[in-house]
Amino acid sequence: MDTPQPRSLKEKQRQERELLILQVAEDVLLEKGYRDTSMDEIAARVGIAKGTLYLHFAKKEDLMLAFFEREMVGILTCLKKIYATHQSVQSRLEKFVKTIYSDPKERRGHLMYIFINSDDFTMTVKHQAQPIFAEIVQEVSALLDEGKANGEFDTLIPTPLMTTSFFSLLSPRTYRSLIERGYDPKEIMRYSLGIYFRGIGGQFSFATEQQS
């Protein structure tokens, strides 16, 4: 605390760069997958030396973990914000998914899927990120329980099953294949959500929005 300003200046630069690294790591991860993401490429794209990467993150795993956490914190924040809303549970979950998927190229949604479903990545990294991961799952579970309690969803389906189904909704690969066939992201979203919510006992009319 004896040198607060200079430190915070340096510190600010440092954090900006760290952010940049995380963003680049995200880019590369989404493009190439975990194993084909090399530290060399990340450093090159960020425009720093490889060694500098290691000043921020001691291991590739740590970078990926930090990156994962950054994303997951964002998702969790979004989830909590929506959680506090006064709407039906279904509306809130729909809102959540749509928000997650509303960034360019649906990065956040795909990342969430990868974190939860990918082996390559998950095996190496996730066991270290249990807490936040558990919190996200917990939050969604709580919402689903609320939905069961207020009659929106089917009470016969165990919540954990509802939850895992929720997170399996949209695999990036199949998503991409649909995009390639010319489907509109919003349409894909709507139908996927529709299948899910009707499946767990919610109300969903595929016709309605089509008519309006």
Partner DNA sequence: AATGAATGAGACTTCATTCAT
Partner DNA sequence: GATGAATGAAGTCTCATTCAT
Please give the residue ranges that form the binding site for its own copies (CB under 8 A).
32-36, 114, 116-120, 122-123, 154, 156-158, 160-162, 164-165, 167-175, 177-178, 181, 183, 187-188, 191-192, 194-201, 206-207, 210
Between CA 181 and CA 96 the distance in angstroms is 26
Tell me whether residue 10 or residue 186 sits nearer to DNA (CB atom).
10
**79 and 95 Cβ atoms separated by less than 8 Å:** no
Q: Which stretch binds DNA (CB under 7 A): 7-15, 84-92, 129-137, 184-192?
A: 7-15
- 3-class DSSP assignment, residue 168: coil
Select the residue interacting with DNA from 19, 58, 73, 149 (CB under 7 A): 58
Tell me whether residue 39 or residue 188 sits nearer to DNA (CB atom).
39
**Which does residue 54 bind out of its own copies, DNA, none, counting CB within 5 to 8 angstroms by kind?**
DNA
CB atoms within 10 A of CB 73: 13
- Minimum CB–partner distance for residue 46 and its own copies (Å): 21
Between CA 111 and CA 171 the distance in angstroms is 10
Residues sharing a CB contact under 8 Å with residue 179, sequence separation 6 or more, in sequence order: 185, 188
CB atoms within 10 A of CB 81: 13
CB atoms within 10 A of CB 140: 20
Site for DNA (CB under 7 A): how many residues? 22
Binding site for DNA (CB under 7 A): 10, 13-14, 17, 36-41, 48-52, 54-56, 58-61
